[in-house]
Amino acid sequence: MAAMEVILLKDVDNLGYADDIVKVKPGYGRNFLLPKKIAVSSNITNKKILAERLRVKAKKEEAMLSKINDIKASLAKLSFKIEAKAGANEKIFGSITTHHIQDAIKANTGLEIERRKISIVEGVVKNLGAYTAKVDLAKEHSVEIPFEVIGVAE
């Protein structure tokens, strides 16, 4: 069966960003993306609407680019420590999540970053040590922030 071409209205993990034209399996497009208003079919009318939306978006992004670069610069030089209770073998009780990183960024810079935009490069943090978090600021703008998990006495 031929692939179906759709225009994404929202960011979809492992598929694409909003305003991308992507090919998907027909069932996925018809039964999930279109009914949930995550995408629209890629026809001539919708492509014209997309072109106009991209033109307007490009103007807005031009103005936002300097702001994004300022945020990127302030995050790039950031390095912080997160305290966690740990046992004798350096294994922490619980795990460090994007919530902890979001709070640390806000405490150190005052920036309010959405939790969805933060990911931990190493995956799950369950031990003391140095790790890296990735912050996606915009479509092609991301920055990696090193952080350290340190133990505190109970």
Supply the CATH number for residue 97's domain: 3.10.430.100
Q: Which of 51, 70, 89 is the last residue of a domain?
A: 70
- 61 with 75, same domain: the answer is no
Question: Residue for token digits 């790039």?
Answer: 76
pLDDT at 112: 87
Using alpha carbons, list the distances in angstroms from residue 59 to 9, 18, 52, 65, 66: 19, 16, 11, 10, 13
Averaged pLDDT score across all residues of the chain:
88
Q: Which residue has the higher pLDDT, 69 or 53?
A: 53
- 132 with 146, same domain: the answer is yes
* Domain of residue 65, residue span: 4-70
Q: What is the C-alpha separation between 83 and 79, in angstroms, rounded?
A: 14
- 80 with 148, same domain: the answer is yes
Q: What is the C-alpha separation between 68 and 47, in angstroms, rounded?
A: 28
Supply the CATH number for residue 46's domain: 3.40.5.10
Per-residue pLDDT band for 22 (boundaries 50, 70, 90) equals: very high
Q: How many domains does the chain have?
A: 2
Give 36-63 pLDDT, tens digit per residue.
999 999 999 999 999 999 999 888 878 8
Q: What is the C-alpha separation between 33 and 7, in angstroms, rounded?
A: 10
Phi, psi (degrees; rounded to nearest 5) at 87: -85, -175
- 142 with 105, same domain: the answer is yes
